[in-house]
Amino acid sequence: MDFTMALGFSLPLGVGLAAVGCGLGIGRAVEGAMSAMARQPEASGRIQTGMIIGAAFIEALTIYALVVAFVLPAILKGAAH
């Protein structure tokens, strides 16, 4: 197995793992926010705002992994020539 084939298998696997981790992270964040809102309904606006900002940061990690999966082969292909 050469380097290109290994890269072809590992990049989609890495993006998939990043997506799974992102889904688990967002799930835990929403779970915590929902239980906090159930305990203190008067603070639900602030809790929800913090949860949405946190979810955006978590989602950005998956987007970074996807960008790396698209850009890395092009960089390595350019460096090989």
The percentage of residues in the chain with a pLDDT greater than 70, rounded to a whole number, is 98
Q: Can you list the domains of the chain with their CATH numbers? A: 17-80 (1.20.20.10)
The per-residue DSSP string of the chain comes to --HHHHHHHHHHHHHHHHHHHHHHHHHHHHHHHHHHHHH-GGGHHHHHHHHHHHHHHHHHHHHHHHHHHHHHHHHHHHHH-
pLDDT in tens, 30-65: 999 999 999 999 999 999 999 999 999 999 999 999
Please tell me the pTM assigned to this model: 0.78
Residue 31 one-letter amino acid? E
